[in-house]
A and B are shown apart, each in its own frame.
Chain A
Amino acid sequence: MKLKIFILILVAVFYAVQVNAQCCGAGNPLNGFGDVSGFQYKSLQISPQYKYSYSDQYYEGSKKAGVSPDRMFYNFISLDAAYGISNRLSVQGQIGYFINKTKLYNIEGWDDMTGYGLGDAEFNLRYSLVKNVLKKFDVSPSIGIKVPVGVFDQTVNEVKLPISLQPSSGSLKYNASVFVSKNFQKYSLSFKAFAEYANRIASQNFDYKYGNLYVVSMFGSYIITSKLNAVLQGQYEYRGKSQRENSEVIESTGGQVVYLIPQLNYTVFKDIALSLNAYIPFYRYMNGIQIANKYSVAFRITKSFNFNKNI
Chain B
Amino acid sequence: MKNKNVFLLLIVGMLVCFACKKDDAVSDGTGAVEIISLTAIDTVLNAWQTTTVNAVAQGDGLIYNWEADHGEINGHGEQIEYMAGTCCTGINTITCKVSNSQNSDVKQIKLRILPF
Contact = CB atoms under 8 A, between A and B. Distances in A.
Main secondary structure on B side of the interface with A: strand
Contacts of B65: 155, 158-160
Contacts of B68: 160, 162
Interface string A210-226: 00000000000000000
Contact of A69 (B48, B63, B76, B80): B48
Interface string B43-73: 0000110100000000000011111111111
Interface string A91-120: 000000000000001010111010000000
Interface residues of A, number: 30
A43 to B, nearest CB: 43
A55 interface: no
A109 B85 CA distance: 17
Q: Give 10 nearest A-B pairs by CB, closest first.
A: A160-B67, A252-B86, A157-B76, A162-B72, A158-B65, A289-B86, A110-B74, A159-B66, A69-B48, A159-B73
Contacts, number: 78
A250 B69 contact: no
B87 interface: yes
Interface stretch (B11-19, B26-34, B88-96): B88-96
A118 to B, nearest CB: 20
B87 A250 contact: yes
Interface of A is mostly: loop
B64 A244 contact: no
B72 A109 contact: no
Give the bracket for the number of chain B residues in contact with chain A.
Answer: 20 to 34
A158 B74 contact: no
Interface centre among B48, B63, B65 (most CB of A within 10 A): B48
Contacts of A162: 68, 71-73
A183 interface: no
Contact of B67 (A69, A205, A207, A242): A205
A251 B116 CA distance: 12
Nearest to A65: B116
A72 to B, nearest CB: 12
B111 interface: no
A67 B85 CA distance: 11
Given A110-B83, A251-B86, 12 more contacts: A69-B83, A69-B85, A107-B74, A110-B74, A158-B65, A159-B80, A162-B71, A205-B67, A242-B87, A245-B69, A252-B89, A288-B87
Contacts of B73: 159-160, 162
Nearest to A250: B87
B81 interface: yes
A155 B97 CA distance: 13
Contacts of B74: 105, 107, 109-111, 113, 159
A244 B74 CA distance: 22
B95 A205 contact: yes
Nearest to B50: A107
16 contacts: A107-B74, A107-B83, A110-B50, A111-B74, A158-B66, A159-B75, A160-B66, A205-B69, A242-B87, A245-B69, A250-B87, A250-B88, A251-B86, A252-B87, A289-B85, A289-B86
